[in-house]
């Protein structure tokens, strides 16, 4: 397909709290999109680049003194700037669909809401780093907090986000749900408490409804 006739790439993100199962569903999302004829790049945040993966290690580690919330937010966007420049924007420009495990919705949920920095701080950095780039489609995996934390606990030793309080994770979930309710055309909420086969069917139904 020539550059003149190639369809534009689309940006798809998977979001959700700890233990919601979004990461385990990434391969199915990519496979479903490829079956529809799309070239797909799979990536994650924080991560996706050498810088992003290094920042991920910093963000996930425990420290003797807690990391300031603003430091956490700035690190997220430092990694995101590289991710956009080196991976996401080039892929979209060549007509590839990008499937990303978390993006800026996570910053609104975790740093804006749960860390209580507020939406304005996140929105300022979002505009500075992303300009007008926003996900075309968001799959939000929703699960009661206690269920998600129990699942996360079964994975073994978690990271410092897993070990936050239930109240912290309740703020994360509430922020995600609020954002989805405000833009139902772009967000598809999936009940992650359902059996895996049902979750996969819900994913397929959501993707089938997207414009080709």
Q: Give residue-wise pLDDT tens across range 132-152.
A: 999 999 999 999 999 988 888
Predicted pLDDT at 157: 58
- Is the pLDDT at 5 greater than 90? The verdict is no
Total domains in the fold of the chain:
1
Give the range among 8-22, 115-129, 153-167 with minimum mean pLDDT.
Answer: 153-167
Order of strands across the sheet with 187-191?
40-44, 97-101, 11-16, 137-142, 187-191
Computed over every residue of the chain, the mean pLDDT equals 93
Distance CA(46)–CA(56), nearest Å, equals 5
Do the domain assignments include residue 169?
yes
Residue 97 φ/ψ, nearest 5 degrees: -85, 135
20 is in an annotated binding site: yes
- Known binding residue 16? Answer is yes
Quick: pLDDT tens for 102-133: 999 999 999 999 999 999 999 999 999 999 99
The pLDDT of residue 41 is: 98
Task: Tell me if 4 is assigned to some domain.
Answer: no
Task: Indicate whether 171 belongs to any domain.
Answer: yes
Q: Has 118 been labeled as part of a binding site?
A: no
**Portion of the chain with pLDDT greater than 90, in percent:** 84
pLDDT at 208 over 70: yes
Buried-state track 12-44, b at ≥16 Cβ within 10 A, e below 16? bbbbbbbbbbbeebbeebbebbeeeebebbbbb
Structure-model confidence comparison of residues 158 and 49, the more confident one: 49
Region for 47 from its dihedrals, namely left if φ exceeds 0, alpha if ψ lies in -120 to 50, beta otherwise: left
Domain CATH number, residue 185:
3.40.50.300
Alpha-carbon gap, residue 145 to 110, rounded angstroms: 14
Position 211 scores a pLDDT of: 82
In this prediction, residue 156 carries a pLDDT of 65
Q: Is the pTM higher than 0.95?
A: no
Q: What is the mean pLDDT of residues 92-105?
A: 97
Q: Is residue 6 part of a domain?
A: no
Cα dihedral 48/50/51/56 (nearest 10): 60
Annotated binding-site residue? 17: yes
Is 112 annotated as belonging to a binding site? Answer: no
102 closest CA partner among 212, 192, 25? 25
61 within some domain = yes
Residue 4 pLDDT exceeds 60: no
Give the range of the structural domain holding residue 46, as residue numbers without chain letter: 11-208
In the structure, what pLDDT confidence band is assigned to residue 154 with cuts at 50, 70 and 90?
confident
pLDDT for position 1 = 43
Peptide bond into 46 cis (omega under 30): yes
Does the residue 5 lie in any domain? no
Asked whether residue 19 is marked as a ligand-binding residue, the answer is yes
Q: Which residue has the higher pLDDT, 61 or 80?
A: 80
pLDDT of residue 6: 61
């Amino acid at each position: 397909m020539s550059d003149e006739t190639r369809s534009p790439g689309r940006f798809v993100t998977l979001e959700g709290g700890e233990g919601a199962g979004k990461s385990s569903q990434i391969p199915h999302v990519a496979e479903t999109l490829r079956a529809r004829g799309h070239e797909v790049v799979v990536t994650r945040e924080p991560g996706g680049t050498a810088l992003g993966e290094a920042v991920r290690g910093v963000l996930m580690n425990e420290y003797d003194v807690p990391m300031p919330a603003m430091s956490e937010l700035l690190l997220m966007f430092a990694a995101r700037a590289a991710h956009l420049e080196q991976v996401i924007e080039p892929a979209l420009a060549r007509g590839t669909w990008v499937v990303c495990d978390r993006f800026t919705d996570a910053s609104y949920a975790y740093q804006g809401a749960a860390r209580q920095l507020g939406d304005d701080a996140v929105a300022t950095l979002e505009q500075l780093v992303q300009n007008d780039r926003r996900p075309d489609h968001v799959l939000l995996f929703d699960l009661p907090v206690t269920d998600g934390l129990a699942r996360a606990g079964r994975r073994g030793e978690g990271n410092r986000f897993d070990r936050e309080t239930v109240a912290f994770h309740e703020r994360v979930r509430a922020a995600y749900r609020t954002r989805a309710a405000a833009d139902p055309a772009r967000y598809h909420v999936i009940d992650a408490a359902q059996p895996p086969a049902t979750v996969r069917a819900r994913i397929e139904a959501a993707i089938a409804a997207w414009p080709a």
